[in-house]
Copies of this chain bind each other. A is one copy, B any other.
């Protein structure tokens, strides 16, 4: 496939595809004259990259997962990323519930609605105590 087909199939602009290739995230399998030739397989990789971006991974992080350094996959890295995602999922769930509450809530400002703050686990974490002059 040439780059235009890949662009259509993936929904990404050709500029992005060249950029990803330059970054080493994808590879072309050769050239037809000047033109890059890609394997259809690249579509999967691109879907994977988009998904990764969408869940908040950087291109470098995605790159590290795509082609591990050395012979073996860096399993601890994958597992720690999975754990990070777990944390984010928890936060997102809280945020989602908070937003749904806020949409139904009468408080003037979300940052002042105790239920909202409690949903987000923000309320009363640390109290500020002004230093009283002796």
A interface residue numbers (CB < 8 A to B): 1, 5, 9, 40-41, 43-45, 47-48, 51-52, 54-56, 65-67, 73, 75, 78-79, 81-82, 85-86, 88-89, 91-96, 99-100, 102-104, 109-112, 117, 120, 122-123, 125-128, 130
Contact = CB atoms under 8 A, between A and B. Distances in A.
A45 B82 contact: no
Given A48-B111, A128-B9, A96 B92 contact: no
Contact of A88 (B1, B65, B92): B92
A99 B111 contact: no
Contact of A89 (B96, B109, B126): B96
B41 A111 contact: yes
Nearest to A116: B48
Nearest to A26: B111
Rank and list the top 6 A-B pairs by shortest CB-CB distance, nearest first. Answer: A40-B128, A78-B103, A85-B96, A82-B99, A75-B103, A47-B122
A126 B48 contact: no
A130 B103 CA distance: 50
B110 A66 contact: yes
Contacts of A40: 127-128
Contacts of A123: 44
